[in-house]
Structure 1
């Protein structure tokens, strides 16, 4: 395995399980748009991709409708949704071990940076992450390719082979490929095994423990 120096972490579905907060906020937004969706499980597909992509793909919203829906979503998400969120087991231990071993840790999420920063602060993870990069509130820089490239443009003293992107959806893996870095697909999040496998990550793990062994094994 390559000896990486900078690890990019997706947030939703990789560091934490945000299902309750995201799905209830989407449900709230849909209700405001006169669409009743009683099943939160059906809204799991919103976890990971940019919101405007999901509203267009699953509900046929045009650009104007998507913007209205996102505004409604954020209305609830800012108040309570971002805190309806739980860490996956052993994530804190993983981050502490990686930092102690000398890795630079960065959050790379499609969630707006301002929300990602508040969530990292809520989990008291500020000490682990050197940088938190997400999308802009106006919807720009929302694809994983753009987000990863933005990070690469900051760490110009490093080679592409020094970076690896971790995530639970195909967008994380595709973004890594588009920017020329390696990726690790995690299957404990919200991307199906088939989705992760079809995207062809450099590595694939099924648990936080396996992820820790893979990353720290390169330092042994």
Structure 2
């Protein structure tokens, strides 16, 4: 098996509009100052609870903030989204080369699956894995669940993602990460975290992944 694990937000999809709008709604509902645009953009990737806590929401009010976020996210935010141009063709090329493809995202799986279905990604991958609804567990645990479900036994594998969490989570399983800069990384976080390579263009995804997998 030549396995490619793919982050969702910022790697396959431009999901920032819906996530940032839902986060801003949560702050307004809590009666707290809404973070600036750069801070809201950093909400894309990590679990929402972690982001709220990191940006001024008192720990005791984080559950309330999560509920307010999801209220808007379920209604409109999850659909304010788009697949990055060129991604479907890159996934098709990877599958044609014999790779097993799976989405591994920190987004709760109850959202990730319908999003992948609505936007046409589900038919292009072999499975979609996400976090529990309570967002317990790390990116490494999501990846571990994916590896177990897919029957991975240590063959060639690669994580593709845009944030440090992807690199760190994959490394816990001995898997290298191909970083992508078209998502939401800050500065050179991917290189500093240890991504084996960082690419800037969607058109380079399949070719670079296959090279790193030795295909």
What TM-score does the superposition give when structure 2 sets the normalisation length? 0.93
Give the alignment partner of residue 173 of structure 1, picking from 167, 171, 186. 167
**Structure 1 residue 38 displacement after superposition:** 7.0
Relative distance call for 1:109 and 1:156 in structure 2 (3 A) is: same
Deviates more, 1:210-219 or 1:130-139: 210-219
Report if the CA contact (8 A) 2:140-2:169 is conserved.
Answer: yes
Return 5+ residue gaps in structure 2 as ranges.
Answer: none
Relative distance call for 1:7 and 1:32 in structure 2 (3 A) is: same
- Counterpart of 1:121 in structure 2 is 117
**1:151 correspondence with 2:146:** yes
Whole-Å separation in 2 of the counterparts to 1:16 and 1:126: 13
**Structure 1 residue 216 displacement after superposition:** 3.6
Is the partner of 1:66 in helix, strand or coil? Answer: helix
**Structure 1 residue 203 displacement after superposition:** 2.0
CA shift digits 1:99-144 (9 cap, x unpaired):
1221111010000001001110111122112111111112223x11
Relative distance call for 1:93 and 1:29 in structure 2 (3 A) is: same
**How many residues were matched structurally?**
214
What TM-score does the superposition give when structure 1 sets the normalisation length? 0.91
Report if the CA contact (8 A) 1:185-1:204 is conserved.
Answer: yes
Whole-Å separation in 2 of the counterparts to 1:199 and 1:53: 19
**Structure 1 residue 219 displacement after superposition:** 6.7
**1:26 correspondence with 2:20:** no
